[in-house]
Structure 1
């Protein structure tokens, strides 16, 4: 669809009469007195940003580094970036090579959760570290037709290398790009950047613990952030439309505060995730550490994964057994089959049917293909068969593959005995 057609479809949403031929440049010039409730806005740190004959609203608030937000002071973010720069681990959230000032924490408020041009962003919020303070800036759309000053004020204020969001790859930034397309001839270009999306990291570490992974839930359950008199995010579109109609700031001020807390939470969450991944959190649970190890395995960070599983492998907890199993796979990958087989032998005796089955199956493979000991290969293959039969989650292809394996091992054993 052409840009012209998109704009035609947007006209009802932008409150531009079909018969109107006026461009935005022919609208009356705004002055401070003409901005409704300007005194209320100014009392709450909000100022107008004028661009030719239009305007948006901008709020700026400064936080000291010793400000406590949940489990962390904001200044601990600097320690997190320093830790990445001292680490040799390659990771999607690594800030290695960056200064703390180069990370840009970003969140939006929109009129809906859907995509496309019908969804308007009415608040762009972001925070960066500047002169030993965190500066939170929020750019507010006073009416749907004022996106040119909104995006101009936003893009003139940002100078960033890496964006930090919560589900921003899937939602926030695609929405920004969509809305920017409609006004790109009149505003600065969107810069290129890296992207740290904390939603995916949170899902990896805490999906075992949290049924839902909304930022507000992660805040409360993981970061120990308690919101007081917070406006729920799902009410934001309704409140914004009421503001557009009445121009009264009260409801919008609640949404602005909600967005501000979201942004501060991104800072604390990035700090916490860093301390989790780099094993700096002294209160890290065994399950969290295990999930970090599995993430290292997925990323091909084998040394980091192996070190993590070694730390967790002692004891008789489920995390210890799972770590021993993961460690055996690391050893197998390194072709250290003797060490791996020792772990499999121990795990084949535990009460967990899944790990015991997988370990017995690996022993059967080991004795068949590497040791050529078909008697032991058959023994552990039969044990794997019994363990599989006890499981309600067994699959037909597993049973068929195991039956073929046992048949092949039996045939090899018979042939070996005949040759003797």
Structure 2
């Protein structure tokens, strides 16, 4: 006969597992006793994997393997591994890190909700990595809430093989939630160098695409169309249903969706890397070239920054060409190349919109402070005031009022300088 202590332990375990899991075990046991096989609804049949033993009990994972020459959209998976990691460090504003792709993994999760609080669980952990001539996606699945510590332990062991993690919005969501789950489990999560591709994606495509969601990028930029994929927004509902009825078949599309996310992460890294390495050949949209130019400027690669802007200025789209000329003029101004800047400001005067005022203001500053041609600076300032006043009759705004105040102040100062020059 079992002791009271043993019976209490058993009771606590049953409470932790929950009625749904106990019922599932009964269903599986009944099916096996009749047929000797697992039912089609079982996880092991729908999503064959491996049960791993840990100090906290068993957990379940499956590996999906791809030859590195397999294409995901426009790119073979091997293309990412040819990219110098220093390029990704640059776009993600990381100073330094290992240069071996064997130390890098791609990370993504599926969760029961969108928050990072204690009530939100991660039920599917995905880690993608290169292994010889294959790209492996390992998916740890939380079969029931009682297995969380086992899953976290196995995941931490796997992550311990890597020094760099690549994610998409991982810093803002996935990693924070993972930290929460480790803290609640009273376990330690080792820090890693984190490369989040969402900020660089926004720099390149925020003004180009309707949004910067991963699925939008893979369709519009990477040329990949998903098949047999269940949208991520349905994942919580399907997972909760699985906890109730034990039918794993509806989860297949979620697992597929999750694999696609990780493959897209890898090829997105490759595409961003190619844009940085070959901007004039790979970039197809002016906004991409603007974003690349800003990066090169930050990295003090002025020749590359200038080349991107020059390419846009030569495009047929007039609005983008004017914006490129304006950015080029400010580029030259920052470097003290005022002769080039002045030529561009004069070229922009014949354009419409903001180019009627912004170049005139810059020219007025140049003629006042550099050329000391006060009368010319005054003439440009008066022209600008007239343009702004005309706009203010149509559109009233605090910005226009502030601009008029500043222009009026400059006009008065220039009038004094002109009088002083005449009197002198």
TM-score, length of structure 2 as denominator length: 0.83
Asked if the contact 2:388–2:400 (Cα under 8 Å) also holds between the matched residues in 1, the reply is no
Asked if the contact 1:276–1:284 (Cα under 8 Å) also holds between the matched residues in 2, the reply is no
Identify if the C-alpha distance between structure 1 residues 302 and 195 changes in structure 2 by more than 3 Å, giving closer, same or farther.
farther
Partner of 1:168: 170
Give runs of aligned pairs for residues 69-80 of structure 1, distance below 5 A.
69-80=72-83
Partner of 2:113: 112
**Superposed CA offset, 1:55-86 (max 9, x none):** 2210101111111111111111122237839x
Q: What is the rounded CA distance, in whole Å, between the counterparts of 1:378 and 1:21 in structure 2?
A: 89
User: Does residue 1:49 correspond to 2:48, yes or no?
Assistant: no
State the secondary structure of the residue aligned to 1:227.
coil
Partner of 2:186: 184
Q: What is the rounded CA distance, in whole Å, between the counterparts of 1:143 and 1:375 in structure 2?
A: 80
Q: Unaligned 5+ residue runs, structure 2?
A: 1-8, 29-37
Partner of 2:67: 64
State the secondary structure of the residue aligned to 2:190.
coil
State the secondary structure of the residue aligned to 1:289.
helix
Q: What is the rounded CA distance, in whole Å, between the counterparts of 1:356 and 1:96 in structure 2?
A: 47
- Shift in Å, 1:301: 5.0
State the secondary structure of the residue aligned to 2:91.
coil
State the secondary structure of the residue aligned to 2:215.
helix
Candidates 395, 402, 417, aligned match of 2:400: 395
- Shift in Å, 1:338: 2.2
Q: What is the rounded CA distance, in whole Å, between the counterparts of 1:93 and 1:52 in structure 2?
A: 38
Q: What is the rounded CA distance, in whole Å, between the counterparts of 2:388 and 2:65 in structure 1?
A: 60
State the secondary structure of the residue aligned to 1:145.
helix
Cα RMSD (Å): 3.0
Aligned length: 391
Larger Rg: 2
Partner of 1:134: 135
- Shift in Å, 1:298: 5.5
Q: What is the rounded CA distance, in whole Å, between the counterparts of 2:354 and 2:171 in structure 1?
A: 36
Q: Unaligned 5+ residue runs, structure 1?
A: 1-18
Q: What is the rounded CA distance, in whole Å, between the counterparts of 1:166 and 1:383 in structure 2?
A: 49
Q: What is the rounded CA distance, in whole Å, between the counterparts of 1:168 and 1:357 in structure 2?
A: 42
- Shift in Å, 1:239: 0.6
Asked if the contact 2:222–2:267 (Cα under 8 Å) also holds between the matched residues in 1, the reply is yes
**Superposed CA offset, 1:30-74 (max 9, x none):** 9xx989558854453312223356322101011111111111111
Asked if the contact 1:279–1:289 (Cα under 8 Å) also holds between the matched residues in 2, the reply is no
Higher helix proportion (structure 1 or 2): 2
Asked if the contact 1:80–1:271 (Cα under 8 Å) also holds between the matched residues in 2, the reply is yes
User: Does residue 1:416 correspond to 2:421, yes or no?
Assistant: yes
- Shift in Å, 1:131: 0.7
More moved, 37-46 vs 314-323:
37-46
Partner of 1:9: none
More moved, 362-371 vs 324-333:
324-333
Partner of 2:3: none
Partner of 1:377: 377
Q: What is the rounded CA distance, in whole Å, between the counterparts of 2:183 and 2:206 in structure 1?
A: 36
Asked if the contact 1:202–1:213 (Cα under 8 Å) also holds between the matched residues in 2, the reply is yes
Give runs of aligned pairs for residues 207-218 of structure 1, distance below 5 A.
207-218=206-217
Partner of 1:8: none
Partner of 1:334: 335
Q: What is the rounded CA distance, in whole Å, between the counterparts of 1:355 and 1:241 in structure 2?
A: 57
Identify if the C-alpha distance between structure 1 residues 300 and 83 changes in structure 2 by more than 3 Å, giving closer, same or farther.
closer
Give runs of aligned pairs for residues 311-326 of structure 1, distance below 5 A.
311-314=311-314, 317-326=318-327
Give runs of aligned pairs for residues 348-363 of structure 1, distance below 5 A.
348-351=349-352, 353-363=353-363
- Shift in Å, 1:235: 0.8
- Larger RCO: Structure 1 or Structure 2 (Cα < 8 Å, ≥ 6 residues apart)? 2
- Shift in Å, 1:93: 6.5
Q: What is the rounded CA distance, in whole Å, between the counterparts of 1:103 and 1:384 in structure 2?
A: 55
Identify if the C-alpha distance between structure 1 residues 103 and 357 changes in structure 2 by more than 3 Å, giving closer, same or farther.
farther
Identify if the C-alpha distance between structure 1 residues 386 and 45 changes in structure 2 by more than 3 Å, giving closer, same or farther.
farther
Q: What is the rounded CA distance, in whole Å, between the counterparts of 2:366 and 2:408 in structure 1?
A: 17
Q: What is the rounded CA distance, in whole Å, between the counterparts of 2:60 and 2:189 in structure 1?
A: 20
- Shift in Å, 1:160: 1.5
User: Does residue 1:368 correspond to 2:368, yes or no?
Assistant: yes
- Shift in Å, 1:315: 5.3
**Superposed CA offset, 1:114-146 (max 9, x none):** 121111111110101111211100000011121
